[in-house]
Amino acid sequence: MSDAYLALETGDVVEANARSPGQARGELVFTTAYTGYEESLTDPSYEAQVLTFAYPLIGNYGVREERFESDRVHPSAVVARELTDDVAEWLQSEGVPAVDGLDTRDLVLDIREGGAMKVGIAAGPDATPEAAKAQLEDCPHMSDLTDIGSRVSVAEPEVHGDGDVDVALVDCGAKGSIVSSLVERGATVHVLPYDTTPAELAAVEPDVLFISNGPGDPANFEAAETLVSEFVGDLPVAGICLGQQVVARALGGTTEKMDFGHRGVNQPVLDYDSGRVVMTTQNHGYTVAEPGDLEVTQINVNDDTPEGLDSEELDVITRQYHPEANPGPHDSLDFFDDVLALASSRTTVTAD
C-alpha cells in the first residue's frame, strides 16, 4: 500500500513509497546525472524545487560530507525510482521529504512534454492524495519567489584563501566548488551577500567582480544586477549560470524561462572561436534570450541557447554552465584561469 503521493499541476496524482516523511511543494524538475547526487542535493540552485533523479538508483556509493556543495540539502523534496537507505536516512536527518518506488521515466517524460510544473507531495503513514493536492494549491511559481536570494546567500561577508588576486564573489547561491576553484588558483575570495551595495563592494577593493550561480528567476536579483551596471568597464566582471543571466540583464540583455531547463552532466557546448565541443555540467531553468552588449561565444549544441558571453572591450566573461563541475566533466576548468587573467586590467574603483 502506498504511503506517499505526488499531486501534479496536470491534475494527475502519482502514488509512491515514503522514504523520508513530510509534506512539500515546489517546481518539479529532473536531472539526468547518474553520479554526484550528494553535490546535486546540496546545490543551492535547487532551492524551492522538487528534484527528480532520472537515473534509477541513487545512493550506491554512500553519503560523504566532503562532497557537499553547501551546508544543507536545498530541494524541497526528492523523487527517485530507488533510494538507498544511506540517502533516505540523510534526507530524514535534514527534514526533507523523499519518495521512491514510482516510474520516474514517466515523470521525466511528463516534464519534457509539459515543462517544469508545480507539484505537491505528502509522504508518511498519514499521507493522502488530498494532502498532496492541498500542497499544490499554495505552490508559487519560481518567478514569484522574490526573496529566494536570502535563503541561499551568506548573511555576512566571508573570506577564503590568501592569494594575489582579490575576487568579490557575490553569493546568489554559490556552490562551494566555485570558491575552491578560485582559491586553488591563487585568489583571495571575498564571498559577499546577494544584496551587497555598491559602496560595500568598493570597500573590498576587488580585482574582479564575480556573480555566482543561484536559484530562480534572475530578475529577482536586482542588487547583483546593480553592481554589474555600476562597475562594469572599471572592474572586470565574470559570472556562472544565474550569474551569466544577471550580467546580461545589466548590460541590456533579456532572459526567459525555459520549458524544462538544462540539468545534468552531459550538455554539449560549442565554442565558436576554437570549434571545439566540450561536455558540461548544468543546472538552470532560465536562459539569456538577448545578450545585450555582450557577444555570444558559445552555444548549446542541442538547442542553440547561449552558453558563453564575452566582451573584450568591457572585460566581461560569463558561462551558463558550471566549469567547476562537481559532479561532471572537467573540460572547461580553464574558465577560472581566464577569470583571474582579467585582473590584469584592474583599476581602483569607487562607488558613486
- Helix (H) / strand (E) element for 254: namely strand 254-271
Determine if residue 285 is labeled as part of a ligand binding site.
yes
Determine if residue 214 is labeled as part of a ligand binding site.
yes
Grid cell listed for 153: 546567500
Considering only CA atoms, which of 216, 248, 214 is closest in space to residue 232? 248
Report the amino acid identity of residue 307.
E
What's the Cα-to-Cα distance from 325 to each of 39, 65, 223, 279, 318, rounded to whole Å?
10, 17, 27, 10, 15
DSSP output for 213-228: --SS-GGG-HHHHHHH
| Cβ–Cβ < 8 Å for 299, 275 | no
Determine if residue 283 is labeled as part of a ligand binding site.
yes
DSSP output for 8-66: ETTS-EEEEEEEE-EEEEEEEEEE--SS-HHHHHT-GGGTTEEEEESSSEE-TT---GG
> Looking at the annotation, which residues are catalytic?
241, 322, 324
The SS3 call for residue 234 is: coil
| Torsion angles phi and psi, residue 257, rounded to 5 | -80, 140
CA atoms within 13 A on the CB side of 128: 4
Separation of alpha carbons 34 and 32, rounded Å: 6
Determine if residue 60 is labeled as part of a ligand binding site.
no
Separation of alpha carbons 14 and 20, rounded Å: 17
| Cβ–Cβ < 8 Å for 216, 48 | yes
Between the two ends of the chain, the Cα-to-Cα distance in Å is 64
**Residues within the annotated binding site?**
45, 214, 216, 242, 245, 283, 285-286
**Residues within the annotated binding site for L-glutamine?**
45, 214, 216, 242, 245, 283, 285-286
